[in-house]
Amino acid sequence: MTARLRVFAGPNGSGKSTLAEWLSQNYSVNLYRYLNADVMFAEIGRTLKSACPLPMDNSSLLSYTSKSTYPEAQKAFFATGKIRIKDDFVLFAPEAVNSYTVAMVADFFRSEYLAAGISFSCETVFSHLSKLDLLRQAQARGFRTYLYFVSTECPEINVSRVATRVQGGGHDVPFDKVITRFQRCLDNVAQSLPFLNRAFFFDNTGIEIRFIAEATEGQWTFFNHELPQWFIQSVYKKSP
């Protein structure tokens, strides 16, 4: 059976986790093994460990993180053993827990899934070009690749929703990061289309998520007469 990669992407506060849950429950979309760095961060913050989803060894983790483009100060936590694999867990020293190191571990898990040819899903803000590399690598390894992208019309909506999420006990994202990542995220979407078998686009500006468009092997189908400007300007007009 052909392995599949499903990427749920969109700016912070757009509703990626909600979309994944909605598609899984209402449309039987198989999420396989789901990687969410925010969920991992919360778990690691409580327990100082994360279960390895596959058989993994510390030498592989060290090799992977040493080649990472993350800051050297973050890579040092792995090199010094403050983050290491032991007995099928990634163990963290308290001072080594931060969003960067957890993201590095999540990236490592993704790379191991790709190497093993195992279907999985992951969630990302998509504001960094490394996520395009993930799609390239997946296709090179024979995966079928799917993108589920959700956004709102403007970053101020996302800032408000992140604030609401924090009030409910969810994770925070600094105001400036929500703003700066918003357009970078949109800019990367059109570039990702050549590395996708199918891409699905959703608008979450209003009360309910709207399914607005799909691109299958480069061919567009539209499901809503009122296409949002973020989609028209940043995705459709810039698509290959």
Q: What is the pLDDT along the chain (240 residues), one digit of tens a residue?
A: 899 999 999 998 899 999 999 999 999 999 999 999 989 999 999 999 999 999 999 999 999 999 999 999 999 999 999 999 999 999 999 999 999 999 999 999 999 999 999 999 999 988 888 889 999 999 999 999 999 999 999 899 988 888 877 777 766 677 778 888 899 999 999 999 999 999 999 999 998 999 999 999 889 999 988 899 999 999 999 998
Q: For residues 70, 73, 78 and 79, what is the CA-based torsion angle, rounded to 10 degrees?
A: 110
Domain spans, the chain: 1-32+119-240, 37-117
| Contact assessment for residue 78 and residue 84, using Cβ atoms and an 8 Å cutoff | yes
Query: What CATH class does 1-32+119-240 carry?
Result: alpha beta
Q: How far is CA 70 from the centre of its chain?
A: 16
Q: For residues 81 and 91, what is the distance between their CA atoms, to the nearest angstrom? A: 9
Q: For residues 107 and 99, what is the distance between their CA atoms, to the nearest angstrom? A: 12
